Structure 1
Amino acid sequence: MQLHLNAQSKFPPVDKSPLDFSYYPVNYPILRIQEKAKEPLMARVTYSRPQKNGRKVFGELVEYGSIWRLGANEATEIELYRDAKIGSARVKKGRYTLYAIPTTDKWTIILNKDTDVWGAFLYDPKKDVVRMEVPVQHNTDALECFSMYFDKTNGNVSLFIGWDTEMVRVPISFF
């Protein structure tokens, strides 16, 4: 029996804000497959990457003082494979939603227990695990796509979050 489908009507179009992952250690899946991983997987961020597309991002597209899902589509999630300290808060290993409340000079970074949510429409502050403020770094070069990456410098791990001309650094240490 031959199956005839109209592929255009069954498959969704390519998303304008593609899904991406960031790992710590950086490039962990590739290192693991190459048998070059020196550390176990400690964290993974799953997020969508909207693009600037000539828009003013902060203060317009992303409103200052309002809860933001850190990207587009589903709320960004971080999975910790070990207990960690984020800012000054101890956090048990597990999966959390990451939000931010940006202002011009600082962002409030939030880890929340409610996962698998779309946007920040159902955000419940009673489920917050961490709230911390981090200073904004303003750059002269604009970053077209919303981006997140882990970096280890001087023995400390940081999650860098940036878009347009703004970037923040979230300190993380693992136990």
Structure 2
Amino acid sequence: MKKINLLAVTVLFAIATKAQQFKFKPLDVSQADFAYFPERSVKESVGDKATPLIKIVYSRPSAKGRKVFGSLQPFGKVWRIGANESTEIRFFKNVILGGKEIPAGTYTLFAIPEKEKWEMILNQQTDTWGPYGYDESKDVIRFSVQPKQLAEYVETLSIVFTPQTSGANLVIGWENTYVEVPIIISN
């Protein structure tokens, strides 16, 4: 009787184990990344009580020898600033962006690149895939920034924050172009 019970338990365990088989997706070619301001805020120990003021989540496509702006990303078209899901930015405090006070919260960041200027778009709608679900009626603000030439080629889209006296500049760089978006942290 004990052998039958042991056999039954073994068979049930094998069936349960087989039922849990699944496949993980392969590594995405445009991996997700994060940028924080201040940069070290999430790396500090809990006792330091360091909290981020801004967090951005984006996917990092690579140029792979292709011309990016004006070709892969056509001028005059809404761009998600990356790949895959649209780039999201979270403000932990109220900020001033493009001359307008923006309440703390999470937003989607888009751009319309042009040769002489980029129109930056902060949008209320989150959890969208690329520009496909973009809804202009949900724009919080639009403002322009000047694209500049990078001194060195950047193969993979990169985003960093550079500290400023009253906040930070969000710097977006790819290929041979970058833009700086001034963000003032409200007190």
Relative to the length of structure 1, the TM-score reads 0.91
Give 1:36 shift: 7.8
User: Which structure 2 residues correspond to residues 5-24 of structure 1 after superposition, within 5 A?
Assistant: 10-24=23-37
User: What 5-or-longer segments of structure 1 have no aligned partner?
Assistant: none
User: Which structure 2 residues correspond to residues 1-175 of structure 1 after superposition, within 5 A?
Assistant: 1-2=13-14, 3-4=17-18, 10-33=23-46, 35=48, 37=50, 40-175=51-186
CA RMSD of aligned residues (A): 1.8
Q: Deviations over 1:46-94 (max 9, x none)?
A: 0000011111111111111100000000000000111110120110011
For residues 52 and 5 of structure 1, do their structure 2 counterparts lie closer, same or farther at Cα, with a shift above 3 Å needed?
farther
- Maintained 8 Å contact 1:142/1:165: yes
User: What 5-or-longer segments of structure 2 have no aligned partner?
Assistant: 1-12
- Maintained 8 Å contact 2:167/2:185: no
Higher strand share: 1
Higher helix share: 2
User: Separation in 1 of the partners of 2:135 and 2:74?
Assistant: 18
Counterpart amino acid of 1:68?
Answer: W
Aligned length: 172
**Could you tell me the percent identity over the aligned residues?**
39
Counterpart amino acid of 1:133?
Answer: S
| 3-state SS of paired residue (2:131) | coil
| 3-state SS of paired residue (1:70) | coil
- Maintained 8 Å contact 2:166/2:185: no
Higher relative contact order (CA 8 A, sep 6+): 1
Q: Which has the larger radius of gyration?
A: 2
